[in-house]
Structure 1
Amino acid sequence: MKLFTKPKSDEEKLIDGCIAGKREMQHQLYGLYSRKMMAVCLRYAPTTFEAEDIMQDAFVKVFNNLHAFKRDCPVEFWIRRIVVNTALKHLRSKQLLTVSHEAEEVANLSSGEVNLSGYTMDELMAMIQSLAPRYRMVFNLYAIEGYNHKEIGEMLGISEGTSKSQYSRARAILQSMLLRQEEKIKEHVISN
Protein backbone atom coordinates (compact mmCIF):
# COMPACT_ATOMS: atom_id res chain seq x y z
CA MET A 1 0.00 0.00 0.00
CA LYS A 2 1.40 3.35 -1.07
CA LEU A 3 1.04 6.26 1.33
CA PHE A 4 0.03 9.57 -0.14
CA THR A 5 2.23 12.47 0.88
CA LYS A 6 0.93 15.96 0.45
CA PRO A 7 3.10 18.02 -1.92
CA LYS A 8 4.92 20.90 -0.28
CA SER A 9 3.52 24.38 -0.73
CA ASP A 10 5.64 27.15 -2.20
CA GLU A 11 5.97 28.62 1.30
CA GLU A 12 7.21 25.30 2.70
CA LYS A 13 9.74 24.97 -0.12
CA LEU A 14 10.90 28.53 0.53
CA ILE A 15 11.32 27.89 4.26
CA ASP A 16 13.17 24.62 3.62
CA GLY A 17 15.49 26.42 1.19
CA CYS A 18 16.19 29.15 3.74
CA ILE A 19 16.92 26.58 6.45
CA ALA A 20 19.29 24.83 4.02
CA GLY A 21 21.14 28.14 3.68
CA LYS A 22 20.21 28.82 0.05
CA ARG A 23 20.90 32.53 -0.44
CA GLU A 24 18.40 32.98 -3.28
CA MET A 25 15.64 31.54 -1.08
CA GLN A 26 16.63 33.81 1.83
CA HIS A 27 16.61 36.78 -0.53
CA GLN A 28 13.18 35.74 -1.80
CA LEU A 29 11.76 35.42 1.74
CA TYR A 30 13.18 38.82 2.63
CA GLY A 31 11.71 40.30 -0.54
CA LEU A 32 8.27 38.87 0.22
CA TYR A 33 8.00 40.35 3.69
CA SER A 34 10.46 43.23 4.00
CA ARG A 35 8.06 46.01 2.97
CA LYS A 36 5.33 44.92 5.36
CA MET A 37 7.78 44.43 8.19
CA MET A 38 9.46 47.79 7.55
CA ALA A 39 6.02 49.38 7.97
CA VAL A 40 5.78 47.63 11.35
CA CYS A 41 9.26 48.88 12.32
CA LEU A 42 8.37 52.45 11.33
CA ARG A 43 5.34 52.36 13.63
CA TYR A 44 7.56 51.63 16.61
CA ALA A 45 10.86 53.38 15.91
CA PRO A 46 11.28 57.11 16.46
CA THR A 47 13.38 57.48 13.29
CA THR A 48 13.76 55.74 9.93
CA PHE A 49 17.37 54.96 10.80
CA GLU A 50 16.30 53.11 13.96
CA ALA A 51 13.52 51.33 12.04
CA GLU A 52 16.15 50.05 9.60
CA ASP A 53 18.27 48.80 12.53
CA ILE A 54 15.28 47.01 14.02
CA MET A 55 14.45 45.49 10.65
CA GLN A 56 17.98 44.19 10.17
CA ASP A 57 18.14 42.72 13.68
CA ALA A 58 14.71 41.13 13.25
CA PHE A 59 15.58 39.41 9.97
CA VAL A 60 18.84 38.11 11.43
CA LYS A 61 16.69 36.52 14.16
CA VAL A 62 14.27 35.19 11.55
CA PHE A 63 17.01 33.44 9.60
CA ASN A 64 18.78 32.19 12.74
CA ASN A 65 15.57 30.72 14.15
CA LEU A 66 13.70 29.58 11.04
CA HIS A 67 14.54 25.96 11.90
CA ALA A 68 12.34 26.38 15.01
CA PHE A 69 9.37 27.76 13.04
CA LYS A 70 6.30 25.62 13.67
CA ARG A 71 4.40 25.36 10.44
CA ASP A 72 1.00 25.52 12.12
CA CYS A 73 0.75 29.28 11.56
CA PRO A 74 1.54 31.53 8.60
CA VAL A 75 5.20 32.48 8.35
CA GLU A 76 4.20 36.15 8.01
CA PHE A 77 2.58 36.06 11.45
CA TRP A 78 5.70 34.45 12.93
CA ILE A 79 7.98 37.04 11.30
CA ARG A 80 5.73 39.90 12.49
CA ARG A 81 5.99 38.67 16.10
CA ILE A 82 9.78 38.63 15.82
CA VAL A 83 9.75 42.15 14.37
CA VAL A 84 7.48 43.49 17.12
CA ASN A 85 9.51 41.81 19.87
CA THR A 86 12.75 43.09 18.34
CA ALA A 87 11.31 46.62 18.21
CA LEU A 88 10.25 46.46 21.86
CA LYS A 89 13.67 45.12 22.90
CA HIS A 90 15.39 47.88 20.91
CA LEU A 91 13.26 50.58 22.50
CA ARG A 92 13.76 49.14 25.98
CA SER A 93 17.53 49.21 25.45
CA LYS A 94 17.30 52.87 24.41
CA GLN A 95 15.08 53.51 27.44
CA LEU A 96 12.33 54.79 25.15
CA LEU A 97 9.74 52.51 26.70
CA THR A 98 9.75 54.03 30.14
CA VAL A 99 6.11 53.81 31.08
CA SER A 100 4.57 55.56 34.00
CA HIS A 101 3.16 53.03 36.46
CA GLU A 102 0.87 55.61 38.00
CA ALA A 103 -2.78 55.51 37.05
CA GLU A 104 -3.51 58.37 34.71
CA GLU A 105 -6.71 60.31 34.51
CA VAL A 106 -7.64 60.99 30.94
CA ALA A 107 -9.15 64.43 30.81
CA ASN A 108 -11.36 65.73 28.04
CA LEU A 109 -11.80 62.48 26.16
CA SER A 110 -13.68 63.28 23.01
CA SER A 111 -16.77 61.15 22.73
CA GLY A 112 -17.39 62.17 19.13
CA GLU A 113 -16.15 60.11 16.25
CA VAL A 114 -13.60 61.63 13.93
CA ASN A 115 -13.91 61.16 10.17
CA LEU A 116 -10.69 59.55 8.91
CA SER A 117 -11.65 59.48 5.23
CA GLY A 118 -9.90 62.79 4.50
CA TYR A 119 -6.51 61.54 5.67
CA THR A 120 -3.88 59.49 3.90
CA MET A 121 -2.26 56.51 5.61
CA ASP A 122 1.00 58.50 5.76
CA GLU A 123 -0.73 61.38 7.56
CA LEU A 124 -2.33 59.02 10.09
CA MET A 125 0.97 57.19 10.66
CA ALA A 126 2.74 60.53 11.19
CA MET A 127 0.22 61.38 13.92
CA ILE A 128 0.76 58.02 15.59
CA GLN A 129 4.52 58.48 15.26
CA SER A 130 4.28 61.83 17.05
CA LEU A 131 2.90 60.22 20.21
CA ALA A 132 5.23 59.83 23.17
CA PRO A 133 6.93 56.41 22.96
CA ARG A 134 4.96 54.87 25.84
CA TYR A 135 1.63 55.83 24.26
CA ARG A 136 2.75 54.86 20.75
CA MET A 137 3.82 51.37 21.90
CA VAL A 138 0.56 50.58 23.66
CA PHE A 139 -1.51 52.07 20.82
CA ASN A 140 0.37 50.05 18.18
CA LEU A 141 0.21 46.82 20.16
CA TYR A 142 -3.51 47.15 20.92
CA ALA A 143 -5.08 48.95 17.95
CA ILE A 144 -2.84 47.71 15.15
CA GLU A 145 -1.24 44.43 16.25
CA GLY A 146 -4.33 43.17 18.09
CA TYR A 147 -2.82 42.23 21.46
CA ASN A 148 -5.07 42.52 24.50
CA HIS A 149 -4.18 44.68 27.50
CA LYS A 150 -3.09 41.71 29.62
CA GLU A 151 -0.63 40.60 26.90
CA ILE A 152 0.63 44.17 26.47
CA GLY A 153 1.14 44.47 30.20
CA GLU A 154 3.25 41.30 30.20
CA MET A 155 5.26 42.42 27.15
CA LEU A 156 6.02 45.87 28.58
CA GLY A 157 6.24 44.96 32.27
CA ILE A 158 3.26 47.10 33.26
CA SER A 159 -0.14 46.36 34.74
CA GLU A 160 -3.16 45.68 32.60
CA GLY A 161 -4.76 48.85 34.01
CA THR A 162 -1.74 50.93 33.02
CA SER A 163 -1.95 49.50 29.50
CA LYS A 164 -5.64 50.49 29.30
CA SER A 165 -4.84 53.95 30.65
CA GLN A 166 -1.96 54.47 28.20
CA TYR A 167 -4.17 53.34 25.30
CA SER A 168 -7.00 55.68 26.35
CA ARG A 169 -4.56 58.58 26.63
CA ALA A 170 -3.05 57.81 23.20
CA ARG A 171 -6.52 57.66 21.68
CA ALA A 172 -7.49 60.97 23.29
CA ILE A 173 -4.32 62.65 22.01
CA LEU A 174 -4.91 61.31 18.48
CA GLN A 175 -8.54 62.45 18.55
CA SER A 176 -7.41 65.88 19.68
CA MET A 177 -4.88 66.07 16.83
CA LEU A 178 -7.53 65.07 14.30
CA LEU A 179 -10.03 67.60 15.65
CA ARG A 180 -7.39 70.38 15.48
CA GLN A 181 -6.66 69.39 11.87
CA GLU A 182 -10.35 69.51 11.01
CA GLU A 183 -10.67 72.96 12.61
CA LYS A 184 -7.66 74.23 10.62
CA ILE A 185 -9.20 72.93 7.39
CA LYS A 186 -12.56 74.57 8.19
CA GLU A 187 -10.83 77.89 9.01
CA HIS A 188 -8.88 77.70 5.76
CA VAL A 189 -12.04 77.03 3.75
CA ILE A 190 -13.90 79.89 5.47
CA SER A 191 -11.05 82.36 4.97
CA ASN A 192 -10.87 81.57 1.25
Structure 2
Amino acid sequence: MFRKKQRSFDLQSVLSGCLKNRPSAQKMLYEQYFGFAKSISMRYASGSDEVMEMVNDGFMKIFTKISMYDPNQSFEAWFKTVMVRSCIDYYRKNHAKVAFVDVDELHFLAYDDQLLEKISAEEILELVQHLPPAYRTVFSLYVVEGYSHAEIAKLLEINEGTSRSNLAKARMKMKEMVKTYVSDLKNYDNV
Protein backbone atom coordinates (compact mmCIF):
# COMPACT_ATOMS: atom_id res chain seq x y z
CA MET A 1 0.00 0.00 0.00
CA PHE A 2 2.79 2.44 0.92
CA ARG A 3 5.30 1.58 -1.75
CA LYS A 4 8.41 3.62 -2.10
CA LYS A 5 8.10 5.75 -5.20
CA GLN A 6 10.51 4.58 -7.89
CA ARG A 7 12.88 7.32 -8.98
CA SER A 8 13.45 7.58 -12.68
CA PHE A 9 17.02 6.91 -13.70
CA ASP A 10 18.61 9.47 -15.99
CA LEU A 11 22.11 8.13 -16.66
CA GLN A 12 23.53 11.43 -17.90
CA SER A 13 22.41 13.40 -14.85
CA VAL A 14 23.59 10.62 -12.51
CA LEU A 15 27.00 10.57 -14.21
CA SER A 16 27.16 14.36 -13.98
CA GLY A 17 26.45 14.09 -10.24
CA CYS A 18 29.12 11.39 -9.88
CA LEU A 19 31.63 13.70 -11.59
CA LYS A 20 30.84 16.23 -8.87
CA ASN A 21 31.26 13.53 -6.17
CA ARG A 22 27.63 13.80 -5.07
CA PRO A 23 26.80 10.89 -2.74
CA SER A 24 23.17 10.79 -3.92
CA ALA A 25 24.29 10.29 -7.54
CA GLN A 26 26.83 7.67 -6.52
CA LYS A 27 24.14 5.84 -4.57
CA MET A 28 21.80 5.89 -7.58
CA LEU A 29 24.53 4.55 -9.88
CA TYR A 30 25.39 1.85 -7.32
CA GLU A 31 21.77 0.78 -6.97
CA GLN A 32 21.18 0.79 -10.74
CA TYR A 33 24.32 -1.17 -11.64
CA PHE A 34 24.79 -3.35 -8.56
CA GLY A 35 23.29 -6.45 -10.21
CA PHE A 36 25.43 -5.99 -13.31
CA ALA A 37 28.59 -5.56 -11.20
CA LYS A 38 27.69 -8.59 -9.11
CA SER A 39 27.13 -10.78 -12.17
CA ILE A 40 30.58 -9.83 -13.48
CA SER A 41 32.29 -10.36 -10.12
CA MET A 42 30.67 -13.76 -9.58
CA ARG A 43 32.67 -15.12 -12.51
CA TYR A 44 35.94 -14.34 -10.74
CA ALA A 45 35.13 -14.89 -7.07
CA SER A 46 35.19 -18.06 -5.03
CA GLY A 47 32.36 -17.03 -2.73
CA SER A 48 29.91 -14.33 -1.74
CA ASP A 49 32.41 -12.46 0.46
CA GLU A 50 34.83 -12.15 -2.45
CA VAL A 51 31.99 -11.11 -4.76
CA MET A 52 31.07 -8.22 -2.48
CA GLU A 53 34.70 -7.15 -2.11
CA MET A 54 35.10 -7.17 -5.89
CA VAL A 55 31.85 -5.25 -6.40
CA ASN A 56 32.82 -2.60 -3.86
CA ASP A 57 36.38 -2.31 -5.21
CA GLY A 58 34.94 -1.99 -8.70
CA PHE A 59 32.53 0.77 -7.72
CA MET A 60 35.35 2.66 -6.00
CA LYS A 61 37.26 2.55 -9.29
CA ILE A 62 34.15 3.59 -11.21
CA PHE A 63 33.67 6.59 -8.95
CA THR A 64 37.33 7.63 -9.02
CA LYS A 65 37.71 7.12 -12.79
CA ILE A 66 34.32 8.43 -13.90
CA SER A 67 36.02 11.39 -15.57
CA MET A 68 37.71 8.92 -17.95
CA TYR A 69 34.35 7.76 -19.33
CA ASP A 70 33.73 8.99 -22.87
CA PRO A 71 30.04 9.94 -23.17
CA ASN A 72 30.16 9.07 -26.89
CA GLN A 73 30.72 5.42 -25.97
CA SER A 74 28.47 2.87 -24.26
CA PHE A 75 28.50 3.35 -20.49
CA GLU A 76 27.75 -0.34 -19.93
CA ALA A 77 30.78 -1.40 -21.97
CA TRP A 78 33.03 1.02 -20.08
CA PHE A 79 31.54 -0.09 -16.76
CA LYS A 80 32.11 -3.76 -17.62
CA THR A 81 35.73 -3.11 -18.61
CA VAL A 82 36.43 -1.30 -15.33
CA MET A 83 34.73 -4.06 -13.32
CA VAL A 84 36.62 -6.88 -15.08
CA ARG A 85 39.93 -5.09 -14.55
CA SER A 86 39.02 -4.48 -10.94
CA CYS A 87 38.34 -8.20 -10.50
CA ILE A 88 41.73 -8.95 -12.06
CA ASP A 89 43.39 -6.47 -9.69
CA TYR A 90 41.64 -8.15 -6.76
CA TYR A 91 42.87 -11.51 -8.03
CA ARG A 92 46.46 -10.24 -8.30
CA LYS A 93 46.33 -8.73 -4.84
CA ASN A 94 44.71 -11.67 -3.05
CA HIS A 95 45.78 -14.70 -5.05
CA ALA A 96 49.30 -13.71 -6.04
CA LYS A 97 50.70 -17.02 -4.86
CA VAL A 98 48.38 -19.06 -7.04
CA ALA A 99 50.36 -21.32 -9.32
CA PHE A 100 49.69 -21.29 -13.03
CA VAL A 101 50.49 -24.43 -14.97
CA ASP A 102 52.69 -23.96 -18.02
CA VAL A 103 51.71 -25.47 -21.37
CA ASP A 104 54.71 -27.81 -21.25
CA GLU A 105 53.08 -29.63 -18.34
CA LEU A 106 49.81 -30.05 -20.21
CA HIS A 107 48.77 -33.46 -21.44
CA PHE A 108 45.98 -34.03 -23.92
CA LEU A 109 42.67 -33.13 -22.31
CA ALA A 110 39.33 -34.04 -23.84
CA TYR A 111 36.37 -31.75 -23.35
CA ASP A 112 32.71 -32.52 -23.90
CA ASP A 113 30.61 -29.40 -24.55
CA GLN A 114 27.38 -31.45 -24.54
CA LEU A 115 27.57 -31.85 -20.77
CA LEU A 116 27.20 -28.10 -20.27
CA GLU A 117 23.92 -28.15 -22.19
CA LYS A 118 22.34 -30.29 -19.46
CA ILE A 119 22.46 -27.66 -16.72
CA SER A 120 21.43 -24.00 -16.37
CA ALA A 121 23.67 -20.96 -16.61
CA GLU A 122 23.27 -20.34 -12.87
CA GLU A 123 24.40 -23.88 -12.10
CA ILE A 124 27.41 -23.47 -14.41
CA LEU A 125 28.33 -20.19 -12.70
CA GLU A 126 28.16 -21.89 -9.32
CA LEU A 127 30.50 -24.61 -10.57
CA VAL A 128 32.88 -22.00 -12.03
CA GLN A 129 33.16 -20.50 -8.54
CA HIS A 130 34.54 -23.86 -7.34
CA LEU A 131 37.46 -23.75 -9.77
CA PRO A 132 40.87 -22.87 -8.32
CA PRO A 133 41.50 -19.09 -8.65
CA ALA A 134 43.97 -19.34 -11.55
CA TYR A 135 41.69 -21.61 -13.58
CA ARG A 136 38.57 -19.57 -12.74
CA THR A 137 40.20 -16.32 -13.81
CA VAL A 138 41.52 -17.61 -17.14
CA PHE A 139 38.25 -19.47 -17.83
CA SER A 140 36.16 -16.36 -17.16
CA LEU A 141 38.38 -14.06 -19.18
CA TYR A 142 38.51 -16.40 -22.17
CA VAL A 143 35.09 -18.08 -22.24
CA VAL A 144 32.87 -15.37 -20.78
CA GLU A 145 34.62 -12.09 -21.57
CA GLY A 146 36.11 -13.17 -24.90
CA TYR A 147 39.70 -12.14 -24.27
CA SER A 148 42.42 -13.80 -26.35
CA HIS A 149 45.23 -15.77 -24.73
CA ALA A 150 47.62 -12.93 -25.61
CA GLU A 151 45.38 -10.41 -23.82
CA ILE A 152 44.97 -12.71 -20.81
CA ALA A 153 48.72 -13.24 -20.63
CA LYS A 154 49.27 -9.50 -20.58
CA LEU A 155 46.54 -8.83 -18.00
CA LEU A 156 47.69 -11.57 -15.62
CA GLU A 157 51.39 -11.16 -16.35
CA ILE A 158 51.82 -14.78 -17.46
CA ASN A 159 52.82 -16.26 -20.81
CA GLU A 160 50.31 -17.33 -23.45
CA GLY A 161 51.10 -21.01 -23.04
CA THR A 162 50.26 -20.77 -19.37
CA SER A 163 46.94 -19.15 -20.23
CA ARG A 164 46.15 -21.94 -22.71
CA SER A 165 47.04 -24.71 -20.29
CA ASN A 166 45.05 -23.17 -17.45
CA LEU A 167 42.04 -22.88 -19.73
CA ALA A 168 42.38 -26.53 -20.73
CA LYS A 169 42.74 -27.58 -17.09
CA ALA A 170 39.75 -25.42 -16.13
CA ARG A 171 37.66 -27.05 -18.85
CA MET A 172 38.70 -30.51 -17.68
CA LYS A 173 37.85 -29.66 -14.08
CA MET A 174 34.53 -28.19 -15.21
CA LYS A 175 33.81 -31.36 -17.15
CA GLU A 176 34.44 -33.45 -14.04
CA MET A 177 32.28 -31.18 -11.88
CA VAL A 178 29.45 -31.14 -14.42
CA LYS A 179 29.54 -34.95 -14.75
CA THR A 180 29.34 -35.30 -10.97
CA TYR A 181 26.61 -32.68 -10.74
CA VAL A 182 24.50 -34.26 -13.51
CA SER A 183 25.03 -37.71 -12.02
CA ASP A 184 23.95 -36.44 -8.59
CA LEU A 185 20.83 -34.88 -10.17
CA LYS A 186 19.93 -38.18 -11.81
CA ASN A 187 20.45 -40.05 -8.55
CA TYR A 188 18.33 -37.49 -6.70
CA ASP A 189 15.54 -37.81 -9.28
CA ASN A 190 15.52 -41.58 -8.83
CA VAL A 191 15.00 -41.38 -5.05
**TM-score of the two chains, using structure 1 as the length reference:** 0.82
Q: Which runs of 5+ in 1 are unaligned?
A: 1-9
Q: Verify the 8 A CA contact 1:96 1:134 in the aligned structure 2.
A: no
> What is the SS of the residue equivalent to 2:42?
helix
> What's the counterpart of residue 3 of structure 1?
none
Matches within 5 A, 1:157-176: 157-176=157-176
**Deviation string for 1:102-139 (max 9, x for gaps)?**
223244413x4324454233321121011111100000
Using the alignment, how far apart are the partners of 1:133 and 1:161 within structure 2?
17
For 2:156, give the aligned amino acid.
L
Is 1:114 the counterpart of 2:120 in the alignment?
no
Using the alignment, how far apart are the partners of 2:76 and 2:107 within structure 1?
36
- CA deviation after TM superposition for structure 1 residue 143, in Å: 0.7
Using the alignment, how far apart are the partners of 1:61 and 1:187 within structure 2?
46
Using the alignment, how far apart are the partners of 1:162 and 1:81 within structure 2?
23
Q: Verify the 8 A CA contact 2:38 2:51 in the aligned structure 1.
A: yes
Is 1:132 the counterpart of 2:132 in the alignment?
yes
Using the alignment, how far apart are the partners of 1:129 and 1:118 within structure 2?
18
Decide whether aligned partners of structure 1 residues 146 and 113 sit closer, same or farther in structure 2, where only a CA change above 3 A counts: closer
Matches within 5 A, 1:68-147: 68-96=68-96, 98-100=98-100, 102-103=102-103, 104-110=105-111, 112-147=112-147
Larger radius of gyration: 1
Q: Verify the 8 A CA contact 1:41 1:51 in the aligned structure 2.
A: yes
Using the alignment, how far apart are the partners of 1:106 and 1:20 within structure 2?
54
Paired-residue identity, %: 27
**Deviation string for 1:40-63 (max 9, x for gaps)?**
222212221222122112111111
Q: How many residues align?
A: 181
For 1:122, give the aligned amino acid.
E
> What's the counterpart of residue 50 of structure 1?
50
- CA deviation after TM superposition for structure 1 residue 35, in Å: 0.8
Using the alignment, how far apart are the partners of 1:71 and 1:39 within structure 2?
24
Q: Which runs of 5+ in 2 are unaligned?
A: 1-9
**Deviation string for 1:40-96 (max 9, x for gaps)?**
222212221222122112111111111121223211221222222222222212235
Q: Verify the 8 A CA contact 2:115 2:175 in the aligned structure 1.
A: no
Is 1:153 the counterpart of 2:179 in the alignment?
no
Decide whether aligned partners of structure 1 residues 58 and 182 sit closer, same or farther in structure 2, where only a CA change above 3 A counts: closer
Q: Verify the 8 A CA contact 2:47 2:129 in the aligned structure 1.
A: no
- CA deviation after TM superposition for structure 1 residue 37, in Å: 0.5
Instruction: Give the aligned CA root-mean-square deviation in angstroms.
Output: 2.2
- CA deviation after TM superposition for structure 1 residue 153, in Å: 0.4
Using the alignment, how far apart are the partners of 2:107 and 2:188 within structure 1?
30
